[in-house]
Structure 1
């Protein structure tokens, strides 16, 4: 690959969603270096899951950063940055699509400025740096001792993969859709389910979470109402999940 790139005699190289570090021969190949588009406000959320980690942490603002890559992980000097608000109930897939559009525009503007000879590279503040880890399967496990808002944020963040799941009477159940139920006045202990008018509410460390769509292991997705009709015996059992260190 190096010989091929060298034969092109590039002025600048661009890497997006590559997921690996480049060695020094590639980084020094083009006069303007290798630019990278990262979906966070660096130095926050360096690493593999910046979008999911920001949502799971309850952030209301994220952004896009164009950097010149160095040998570290998302640690190079910043050439451009743009803030993007995270909508209150926005999921990671939707935010990813919006950031892709914003990022393409910002990258094009940055390349135009470089072509004109203008550059404003700023070093990142290492003291503010945070890391967004590779998503793992166990991130899906719900800890019902957390506040409802935090669990809902995790559902928004991990929609698609790894998703959100709980265990009831030894059965694994995916939570495909849920919402905050602040307007419902019920006293429900964390990890306990309560049914009202065919709707399922689960208690958390602070507040209620309404479960809208579920998928028991080996079954098709179903509405809460269908789950109540077919799995009534499970609703009196504790809803559990492997407690884990949540993204922050």
Structure 2
């Protein structure tokens, strides 16, 4: 079966690699977002999918707008277009071009978490299970008929980074199963129940500022859900302090005598213990402004911070 692969970031790379290993699937070409300037030097960098495609000598096309790629798609004449985190909404002309349509891999258990940031939202909301779904694309936002799903556990050790990587690998395997089923005619489709659909809005960097009035568990989830990007933070003595890791010390106790955000204990083993709106949380890995990230133990050795001090702007 001839396919075109459309994808851009790291999340899509395992899917492309998995498809290239299947004999019944032939990748005719790859469409990715244009190269962008990145890093301090602002050098033009290829997308992760483009880099991987070139390793396999695949032809790569990078239109600024996918509507500019119609002629190239017609030239490749795919039976299926496989879409994984491409980064643009596909117009009807593209959706209708392949015989079997456009098949998308989405990083949630649809219809939960349609939209841009399902992995972030799953951790921020304290979910214990998420997963990946393959579906046939239509004009709506992640509303197409589902094909296959695979659950993935969210562990207490997970960050958005670690969960992202696991879902990418599981998703690649699920996409192979999906396209194989399309090729041999065994595929089946299931309508989504729109009445239980939820949406995962794009993450805003400002959401990463800690509200110490929230519970210790909610703050812990936010720190995990923003690690490594876009990063959570608070302020100490007017300076931004990034927070990379933490642990809940007490998730139930409410202490009206101690203002939320107040440092209640400094412990080289436990970390910097802070009172929240409900319970206490220990900050275990931090990053002061213009410094490298460090453990709480190293931070306490190098910075003057006292019990009774308050975090927050």
TM-score by length of 1: 0.90
SS of structure 2 residue aligned to 1:112 = helix
Among 165, 168, 179, which residue is 2:247 paired with? 179
Contact 2:266-2:307 within 8 A present in 1 as well = no
For 1:143, the equivalent position in structure 2 comes to 211
> Quick one: distance in 2 between partners of 1:112 and 1:155?
39
For 1:218, the equivalent position in structure 2 comes to 290
List runs of 5+ in structure 2 lacking aligned partners. Answer: 1-68
SS of structure 2 residue aligned to 1:228 = helix
List runs of 5+ in structure 1 lacking aligned partners. Answer: 242-248
> Quick one: distance in 1 between partners of 2:70 and 2:173?
28
**Structure 2 counterparts to residues 5-154 of structure 1, below 5 A:** 5-154=73-222
> Quick one: distance in 2 between partners of 1:24 and 1:133?
23
Contact 1:49-1:134 within 8 A present in 2 as well = yes
Q: Give the deviation of 1:190 after TM superposition.
A: 1.6
TM-score by length of 2: 0.72
Q: CA RMSD in A?
A: 2.0
Among 227, 231, 244, which residue is 1:159 paired with? 227
Deviations 1:81-133 (A, max 9, x none): 12111112211111111111111111111111111112311111111111111
For 1:246, the equivalent position in structure 2 comes to none
Q: Give the deviation of 1:33 after TM superposition.
A: 0.3
Q: Give the deviation of 1:233 after TM superposition.
A: 4.7
> Quick one: distance in 2 between partners of 1:141 and 1:234?
22
For 2:56, the equivalent position in structure 1 comes to none
Q: Give the deviation of 1:19 after TM superposition.
A: 2.2
For 2:61, the equivalent position in structure 1 comes to none
SS of structure 2 residue aligned to 1:205 = coil
Contact 1:201-1:209 within 8 A present in 2 as well = yes
> Quick one: distance in 2 between partners of 1:99 and 1:215?
28
> Which is bigger in relative contact order (C-alpha 8 A, separation at least 6)?
1
Q: Give the deviation of 1:235 after TM superposition.
A: 5.1
